[in-house]
Amino acid sequence: MSLAIIGCGNPNRSDDGAGPAVIDRLHRESLPAGVTLYDAGTDGMAVLYRARGLSHLIIVDARAPEDAPGAVYEVPGDLLQAPPPQSLNLHDFRWDHALYAGQRIYGADFPKFVKVLLIEASTLELGLTLSTPVEAAVDKVVQDVKAQAKRYGEGLWQ
């Protein structure tokens, strides 16, 4: 059994960097054995390859701005997986496509337990800093992921 936490997003587009910010902060924390951290950026193929062979997976990403910047949504991965578009451009292959393809390609060698944490963005404009509500949400998600990793380490996340 192994757990990976994968942060997705573009830190050059303000709040889209929420996933990588969570991973950066988790690198400074004490996590149980068997937990690995990855910053996949915007590379859906990296999610596909990093998830292979895992039993558990948490993906953290920003979601498009609506009316609640900084809100955190936890969604089971199977509800968000989507078939990849018919495209020759790998930039079109996102983590939701990786979840879909990974289940079909790797079968039992792909995580059975997948959670996705989405942080609603305030802005996706070019910029290197997170907005105030997303900064606060990143801190909240770090604490939540630490708690989930602890439960995993204790064998309580099945």
Contact 1, 153 (CB under 8 A): no
| Exposed/middle/buried for residue 66 (C-beta within 10 Å: 0-12, 13-18, 19+) | exposed
In degrees, rounded to 5, the angle at the alpha carbon of residue 135 between the alpha carbons of residues 149 and 76 is 40
- Bridge partners of 120, per DSSP, are 63
**CA-based R_g, the chain, Å:** 15
Q: What percent of the chain has pLDDT over 70?
A: 98
- Bridge partners of 114, per DSSP, are 57
pLDDT at position 88 is 67
Beta-strand relationship, 56-63 and 113-120: parallel
Edge-first strand order for the sheet with 3-8 is 35-41, 3-8, 56-63, 113-120, 72-76
Q: What does pTM read for this prediction?
A: 0.95
What are 59-99's pLDDT values in tens digits?
999 999 999 999 999 999 999 999 988 876 777 899 999 99
